[in-house]
Structures are given as C-alpha cells and as structure tokens.
A and B are shown apart, each in its own frame.
Chain A
Amino acid sequence: MGALKRDVFQGLADPTRREILTLIVHEPMSLNSIAEKFEISRPAVSQHIKILEECQLIDITQKGRQRFCEPKLDKLNEVAEWIAPFKEMWESRFNQLDNLLEELKTKSK
C-alpha cells in the first residue's frame, strides 16, 4: 500500500467536512474564518481541510498571509450524479474485498 489515496466519498463521509463545504460553496473563505465557525480545535479543522484537499474537493490558495479554500464544483457534480448510489455500493464492496484478500494472502503464505 502506497500513500493512502482518498476518494471523494471518504471526503464526504464526515459531517464536519460536509459543513465546511457548505460554508465555502457560496464564497471562498480563509482557513482562519472557517476555523472560527467551529467548536472543534483549529488543528482538527486543518486536518479536515487537508483531507478535503486530498480528495480534490477543494482548492487551497495562498493570498498574502491567508490561505483561502474554495470548492471544486466539478468534483462535487461528479458525486451528485445519478450513478452515485451504485458507486457507493461497489466502493463498499471493494473495500471489504480488499480486506478479505489481505486475510487470504496471509493464510496462503
């Protein structure tokens, strides 16, 4: 397993991350102003933002001393398409299959 590749569904699986997306969907916001909106610690917010960036759900741009987050709407659209439930079902199956194959590999050594 190389670097953990995150997918969009993982990005959206967490309520805080969905809330962050909802916040910035109308206008880009700085990391600081996003963090202010949450009760959780700033590092925790940063961590969520990092995951959103890894899933390519947001872009982060440096403006002076501030880092601004904006949503990548094409990625969100891709998720909102009608095939989403089908994808979720197979992603869930494949994750379980990955785990099962790891077990089988250990057993067959």
Chain B
Amino acid sequence: MNEAKFTVKENVLTVERTFNAPIKLVWRAWTEAELLDQWWAPTPWKSETAKMDFSEGGSRLYAMVGPEGEKHWGLTEFTSIKPVTHFSGQDVFCDENGEPNREMPVAKFSNDFNENNNQTTVIMVTHYASADDLKTVIEMGMKEGLTMALNQLEDILLTQKV
C-alpha cells in the first residue's frame, strides 16, 4: 500500500499520493463520472454523479449517499484543465439542483499528476478562505467506526499527558 502524505498549514491542505498505474488511467479515474463514482465515496457511502461536464467552465453535480439513504450534495466547478497533468477549480456544498450553500466553506483545489516509472503521483492542494473554514470541513468528514476507536484512544492519551 502506498502511503498518503497529509500536510496542513493554516488554511491550506496538501495531500500527496502515488498510484501504481500509468498517468492516463489515473487521470481517467479522477475525471470520468462513471469511474469517479466507484471510489469517490468513502466506505460505507456511495457516490452518485447526477451531472458531469468535465470542461473549463463546466461542473460535476454529485451526491454522497449514506447507508440510511441520506444524501449530501456537492458541486465541483472546473476552471482550468490541462489533460492528464492538471485540473483545478472549486468544490462547494449545494442542494440537489446544484444551488450552492453560501453558508458553507468553498474549497479551491488544484490537482497535479506526474508519471514516473509507470507510477503516478497526484498532488492535491486545497485552499480555504480561512483556517476556521478548513476545520469546519474536516470536522464534517464522514466518520466511520474507526473514529470512535480514535476517540477512545484520545481519552487514553489525555490521561497520559504525553
């Protein structure tokens, strides 16, 4: 398993990860709705793309569908696309019609793809308006059973005073 690197600085979040596949395939997996839906939702959620227009000025409207059938809608707007090496844009929370929720943080993202020896490294840089915005989004992160385990651990750690 390849390790993902996560770094947070103020309001900027960087994730870097290498995949054992050529750049063409990795690019397709990130930019074709049918493929995106197969990995975009963390287990046990499912991703369903309602509309996809992968072009500069276009957008993807998708739902994250929870185990109880609940839906969280998201809109990814694409501003710049350089096939197989780069695309950037912004992610917003919205309703099922793609109407953005103005009270929620907007994430400006930039994704870069690099191939080396049949492996592809993806670097995602995400900017939020403020560090608070970033915290809000992360705390909304979908939690699995693991998080509960981590909370238990956290309690242990708090008593440790490391």
Q: A residues touching B (Cβ–Cβ < 8 Å)?
A: 1, 4-7, 9, 12-13, 15, 18, 21-22, 25, 73-74, 76-77, 79-80, 82-102, 104-105, 108
Contact = CB atoms under 8 A, between A and B. Distances in A.
Interface residues of B, number: 42
Contacts of B144: 88, 92
Interface in B9-34: 13, 15, 17, 19-21, 25-26, 28-29
Please report whether the interface of chain A is mostly helix, strand, loop or mixed according to DSSP: helix
Nearest to A17: B149
Interface of B: 1-4, 6, 8, 13, 15, 17, 19-21, 25-26, 28-29, 35, 38-43, 135, 137-139, 141-144, 146-147, 149-150, 152-154, 156-157, 160, 162
A84 B147 contact: yes
9 contacts: A5-B3, A21-B153, A22-B156, A77-B162, A90-B4, A90-B17, A93-B41, A97-B19, A101-B29
